[in-house]
C-alpha cells in the first residue's frame, strides 16, 4: 500500500519577529532561515518519517531541484514531481515569540499541474492505496475524482481553507481533516452540522484542546485530549499531524490509534523551529514516551 499525495512544494522563508505585522507596519526580523516546506511536501515528509510509502505528485520550477533532492533524501518517492517553467512556490512565514505564525504564499509552479500530470502520476495506483491532497495546488478536483474512480481512499486536509473547494470535492471524500475555525466555516457555508455532512470520517483539530473525530456512519463523536507542550513554532504541526495520521491508516492502524500517533508527532513538531526539515520520525515519537 502507498500514499499518493497531490501537494505543494515551497521554499519556506522564516522570519522570527517580536510580534506579527500589523497593516502598514515595518518591522525588523530578529532571525531568518530558509527550508523545505509547502503543506504538501510537509505531509509527504511526515508520511515517510512515519514509515509509510509516499509518492508525491507535484511541481517545481527550474529553481526547485534542491527541494526535490531533499524530499528524496527524506524518503519520498519523487518520480511524479514534474519540472515546469514557472518558479517554485515559496512562503514568507513570520513567527512571533508565542510561536504563532502568519504565512504568505506564492503558488508558482504548484498551480501549473495539469490533468495529464495527475493521470500519469496515478497510473499504477490501486484501491489498496490512499490519495491525500490539500488546497495549494491546481487540479484538486481532477485528482480526487480520478483517485475515487480507482477506488482509492480519498483524504482531504482542507488547508488553506476555502469552503467552496470543500463543497465541490465533499462527495468524493472518505476523510476530511480541518481545524475548529474551518469546521465552523464549513458548517456555516453548508448550513449543516458536521455530523450531517456526506463524509464518513471527519477529524477536527482543536489546538490546545486536542482533537475530535466524528464517524458519520455510526454517529460516534470521540474527543482526544491535547498533549501539553510549550510551543516555539506551530508552523507545519497540522501537516505533521495529517502525515502521521495518514501513514498510520496506510499501515493498518485503527483510526483512534492513527489520530493518537498524529497528535504525538505534532506535539514534538511544535517544539521545533522549521517545517519539512524538522518533522520528527517514529523513533522520536517512541522516545518522547507520551502518556
Ligand atoms: O502549513 C505550513 C506550510 O504552509 C508552510 O510550509 C508553507 O510553505 C505553507 O504552505
Q: What percent of the chain has pLDDT over 90?
A: 97
Q: CB of 227 closer than 6 A to ligand 1?
A: no
Place of cell 476530511: 176
pLDDT value of position 160: 94
DSSP code per residue over 238-257: HHHHHHHHHHHHHTT--HHH
**133 C-alpha to ligand 1 centroid (Å):** 14
pLDDT value of position 291: 64
* 287 contacts: CB under 8 Å, gap ≥ 6: none
**179 C-alpha to ligand 1 centroid (Å):** 15
Among 207, 199, 148, 144, smallest CA distance to 176 is for: 199
Cis ω before 236 (30° cut-off from 0): no
Among 11, 133, 118, smallest CA distance to 61 is for: 11
Q: CB of 12 closer than 6 A to ligand 1?
A: yes
DSSP alpha helix (H) spans, 17-162: 39-49, 65-73, 115-121, 140-149
**270 C-alpha to ligand 1 centroid (Å):** 14
pLDDT value of position 172: 98
Cell triple for residue 94? 513570520
| Residue 278: CB atoms within 10 Å | 18
CB-based contact 91:12 (threshold 8 Å): yes
Q: Is the model's pLDDT at 145 over the cut of 80?
A: yes
Q: Is the model's pLDDT at 100 over the cut of 90?
A: no
Q: CB of 37 closer than 6 A to ligand 1?
A: yes
The whole-number average pLDDT for the span 86-103 is 94
What are 27-40's pLDDT values in tens digits? Answer: 999 999 999 999 99
* 207 contacts: CB under 8 Å, gap ≥ 6: 179, 180, 226
Q: CB of 36 closer than 6 A to ligand 1?
A: no
**Ligand 1, pocket-test mutation among 5, 10, 34, 60, most atoms within 8 A of CB:** 10
The whole-number average pLDDT for the span 243-249 is 98
What is the C-alpha separation between 94 and 50, in angstroms, rounded? 28
Q: Which residue lies with its CA nearest to atom 9 of ligand 1?
A: 38
Q: Is the model's pLDDT at 290 over the cut of 90?
A: no
Q: CB of 8 closer than 6 A to ligand 1?
A: yes
Q: Which residue lies with its CA nearest to atom 7 of ligand 1?
A: 38
Q: CB of 47 closer than 6 A to ligand 1?
A: no
Q: Which residue lies with its CA nearest to atom 10 of ligand 1?
A: 38
CB-based contact 27:17 (threshold 8 Å): yes
Q: CB of 80 closer than 6 A to ligand 1?
A: no
Query: What mean pLDDT is reported for the chain?
Result: 96
**164 C-alpha to ligand 1 centroid (Å):** 21
What are 190-206's pLDDT values in tens digits? Answer: 999 999 999 999 999 99
Domain map (residue ranges) of the chain: 3-9+37-87+109-288
Q: CB of 105 closer than 6 A to ligand 1?
A: yes
Q: CB of 107 closer than 6 A to ligand 1?
A: no
The whole-number average pLDDT for the span 138-159 is 97
**Ligand 1, pocket-test mutation among 157, 239, 243, most atoms within 8 A of CB:** 239
Check if CATH label 3.40.1190.20 holds for domain 3-9+37-87+109-288: yes
Which sign, positive or negative, has the C-alpha torsion 132, 135, 140, 141? Answer: positive
Q: What percent of the chain has pLDDT over 70?
A: 100
The whole-number average pLDDT for the span 139-155 is 98
Amino acid at each position: 500500500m502507498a500514499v499518493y499525495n497531490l501537494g505543494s512544494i515551497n521554499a519556506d522563508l522564516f522570519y522570527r519577529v517580536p510580534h506579527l505585522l500589523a497593516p502598514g507596519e515595518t518591522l525588523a526580523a530578529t532571525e531568518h532561515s530558509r527550508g523545505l516546506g509547502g503543506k504538501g511536501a510537509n505531509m509527504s515528509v511526515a508520511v515517510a518519517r512515519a514509515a509509510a510509502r509516499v509518492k508525491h505528485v507535484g511541481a517545481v520550477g527550474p529553481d526547485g531541484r534542491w527541494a526535490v533532492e531533499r524530499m528524496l533524501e527524506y524518503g519520498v518517492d519523487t518520480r511524479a514531481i514534474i519540472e515546469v517553467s514557472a518558479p517554485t512556490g515559496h512562503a514568507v512565514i513570520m513567527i512571533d515569540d508565542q510561536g504563532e505564525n502568519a504565512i504568505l504564499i506564492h503558488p508558482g509552479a504548484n498551480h501549473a499541474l495539469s490533468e495529464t500530470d495527475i493521470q500519469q502520476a496515478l497510473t499504477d495506483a490501486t484501491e489498496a492505496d490512499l490519495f491525500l491532497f490539500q488546497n495549494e495546488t491546481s487540479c484538486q478536483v481532477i485528482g480526487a475524482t480520478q483517485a475515487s474512480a480507482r477506488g482509492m481512499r480519498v483524504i482531504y486536509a482542507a488547508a488553506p481553507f476555502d469552503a467552496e473547494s470543500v463543497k465541490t470535492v465533499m462527495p468524493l471524500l472518505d476523510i476530511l481533516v480541518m481545524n475548529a475555525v474551518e469546521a465552523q466555516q464549513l458548517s456555516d457555508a453548508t448550513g449543516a452540522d458536521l455530523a450531517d455532512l456526506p463524509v464518513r470520517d471527519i477529524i477536527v483539530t482543536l489546538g490546545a484542546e486536542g482533537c475530535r473525530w466524528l464517524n458519520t456512519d455510526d454517529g460516534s463523536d470521540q474527543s482526544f485530549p491535547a498533549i501539553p507542550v510549550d510551543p516555539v513554532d506551530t508552523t507545519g504541526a497540522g501537516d505533521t499531524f495529517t502525515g502521521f495520521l495518514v501513514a498510520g491508516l496506510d499501515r493498518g492502524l485503527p483510526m483512534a490509534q492513527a489520530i493518537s500517533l498524529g497528535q504525538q508527532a505534532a506535539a514534538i513538531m511544535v517544539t521545533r523551529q522549521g517545517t519539512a526539515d524538522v518533522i520528527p520520525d517514529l523513533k522520536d515519537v517512541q522516545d518522547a514516551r507520551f502518556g
